[in-house]
Amino acid sequence: MGVDVLLGLQWGDEGKGKIVDYLSDKYDIVARFQGGPNAGHTIVIGDKKFVLHTIPSGIFRESSINIIGNGVVIDPITLEKELIKLRAENVSLDKLLVAKKAHLILPSHRYLDAASEAAKGKEKIGSTLKGIGPTYMDKTGRNGLRVGDIFKSNFMDKYTALKNKHVDLLKLYPPIDFDLEKEEELWMESLEALKKLQTIDCSYYINKKLEEGKSILAEGAQGSMLDIDFGTYPYVTSSNTMTAGVCIGLGIAPTKIKNVLGITKAYCTRVGAGPFPTELEGEVGEELRKVGQEFGATTGRPRRCGWIDIPQLKYTIMINGVTSLAITKLDVLNGFSDIMVAENYMMNGDATDELPYDLQGEEILPLYATKKGWESDLEGITDYAELPQVAKDYLEYLEKQLGVPIHYVSTGPARRSLILKA
Ligand code: GDP
Ligand code: IMO
Ligand code: MG
């Protein structure tokens, strides 16, 4: 037994929540290892739809333990809202554990996020404004507050010192609307809900479970193209979203990682600013957005849509050591007679399948192959053999291009709309 990893290979929203929910009954533990409430993971069970931001997507399985790992940043207000919604649906929270070393998002982190984005003008990152960047800045700047601190007698002093530092920093930015006092009050109330959860030393806990032979699934948030080191910097999030982040975010050794399941849509989306070589700004992009219901699960913003991008996926498969793939939202392509795939990029007169240093600054022309669409409904198909031959051709073509086997194909938001290919 070891740690299996599931993560997004594009710019987020690949359908990670749905696949984690499906797979979680095969694992003893599901753990989030990075990111925070900038994530929005959607799970559809029967006629109920849940969007999780901080809590792992394995929470609906009574048998699995769910861990919010030390690499995650937690906003107690969002967390409490999630807890309330789940309790209202009788979802058991007994097996939810929180790492003591996870950092806290303060209201003033959100304030700073909003002020710094507002000051950027046209250079905006398109942040979800959940305070992610400022919280990770305080973590690496060695100023942060952690979950374990809330139980200490000097917590309020530490809180006030950090908040005051933020208030001083905020003077550097043009003023924005933010009711810090009101948000602080809410935050302090929500802290009580967080205090009631069971807290752990994540590294000892997980390593002991591994010794006992338990299986662990690490659930990625965001996508590899949003990774702070390897994504489309500076249009990225502030954590390591890739496989390497699992070791840091849970406290396990690289040798403990076994399989890496990479999730990609059958096309591509991005929400927020930054480069997106295969983006479609016209009618086809609009159609993908409409059929795929491409609106952010956290912010409700329309997602930018485009075709699947092979060089981009080959890159994220490489940096993550992906061992198998899940292709989601295949059904969104049901009505398309032609499906395009970017096989290479044309850059400075040469074809290449490598991403340049700065995807933003380069003139990139994607070179497309056109694939025939299946033009039929895939609803209800759970057996790979029953897929139209043209759809199988598309999937097998992707497998060949990417050099990694496809193990899962998702054909709808519901738990049951999943084909096991392998
Ligand atoms: P995540 O952040 O990677 O968990 O993905 P999101 O939940 O933000 O976005 C994925 C969206 O697509 C959600 O609304 C899901 O319910 C939906 N979804 C997931 N898989 C499929 C699929 O195969 N087909 C369709 N049509 N929708 C899907
Ligand atoms: P899930 O886990 C898609 C994007 C934001 C913005 C950039 C930085 O649901 O796939 P941040 O709030 O981190 O400062 O935003 O990253 N972003 C996401 N895009 N899915 C997500 O999470 C995202 N989390 C952050 O839109 O462009
Ligand atoms: Mg999402």
Q: What is the pLDDT of residues 188-212, one digit of tens each?
A: 999 999 999 999 999 999 999 999 9
**Distance from the CA of 119 to the center of ligand 3, in angstroms?**
26
Q: 16: which 2 tokens? A: 């990670």
Size of the chain, expressed as the number of residues it contains:
422
Cα 35 from Cα 41, distance rounded (Å): 12
Q: Using an 8 Å Cβ cutoff, are 130 and 106 in contact?
A: no
Question: Ligand 2: which residue has its CA nearest to atom 6?
Answer: 127
Site to probe by mutation for ligand 1, drawn from 18, 51, 268, 301 as the one with most ligand atoms within 8 Å of Cβ, is 18
The DSSP line for 58-127 is TTT-TT-EEEE-TTBEE-HHHHHHHHHHHHHTT---TTEEEETTPEEPPHHHHHHHHHHHHHHGGG----
Question: Given its phi and psi angles, is residue 15 left (phi above 0), alpha (psi -120 to 50 degrees) or beta?
Answer: left
Preceding omega of 76 cis (within 30 degrees of 0) = no
Q: What is the pLDDT along the chain (422 residues), one digit of tens a residue?
A: 799 999 999 999 999 999 999 999 999 999 999 999 999 999 999 999 999 999 999 999 999 999 999 999 999 999 999 999 999 999 999 999 999 999 999 999 999 999 999 999 888 999 999 999 999 999 999 999 999 999 999 999 999 999 999 999 999 999 999 999 999 999 999 999 999 999 999 999 999 999 999 999 999 999 999 999 999 999 999 999 999 999 999 999 999 999 999 999 999 999 999 999 999 999 999 999 999 999 988 889 999 999 999 999 999 999 999 999 999 999 999 999 999 999 999 998 999 999 999 888 778 999 999 999 999 999 889 999 999 999 999 999 999 999 999 999 999 999 999 999 97
**Distance from the CA of 296 to the center of ligand 2, in angstroms?**
9
Given the CA of residue 273, which atom of ligand 2 is nearest to it? Answer: 27
Residue 46: φ, ψ to 5°: 60, -130
The label of the residue with tokens 């392509």 reads 333
Q: Clarify whether 21 is annotated catalytic.
A: no
Given the CA of residue 39, which atom of ligand 1 is nearest to it? Answer: 2
* Cα torsion 208, 322, 223, 290: sign: negative
Strands 406-410 and 418-420: antiparallel
Beta bridge partners of 98: 68, 199
Cα 225 from Cα 315, distance rounded (Å): 9
**Distance from the CA of 390 to the center of ligand 2, in angstroms?**
33
Q: Buried b / exposed e across 331-368, counting CB within 10 Å, b at 16+?
A: bbbbebeebbbbbbbeeeeeeeeebbeebeeeebebeb
Ligand 1 neighbours by CB, cut-off 6 Å: 8, 12-18, 40-42, 44, 293, 297, 328-329, 331-332, 410-413
The secondary element (H helix, E strand) that includes residue 402 is helix 389-402
CA 397 to chain centre: 26
Q: Using an 8 Å Cβ cutoff, are 54 and 234 in contact?
A: no
Question: Ligand 2: which residue has its CA nearest to atom 20?
Answer: 12
Q: Is the CB of 12 under 6 A from ligand 2?
A: yes
Q: Buried b / exposed e across 111-122, counting CB within 10 Å, b at 16+?
A: bbbbbbbeeeee
Sheet bearing 257-265, strands edge to edge:
198-200, 96-99, 65-68, 29-32, 216-223, 3-8, 257-265, 324-328, 406-410, 418-420
Q: Is the CB of 222 under 6 A from ligand 2?
A: yes
CA distances from 131 to 16, 120, 147, 177, 182 (A): 22, 16, 16, 15, 16
Given the CA of residue 127, which atom of ligand 2 is nearest to it? Answer: 15
Cα 410 from Cα 19, distance rounded (Å): 8
Secondary structure letter of residue 233 according to DSSP: T
Residue 225: φ, ψ to 5°: -75, -5
Q: 195: which 2 tokens? A: 């205090």
Q: Clarify whether 41 is annotated catalytic.
A: yes
Q: Is the CB of 7 under 6 A from ligand 2?
A: no
Which one of the listed residues 4, 13, 75, 309 is annotated catalytic?
A: 13
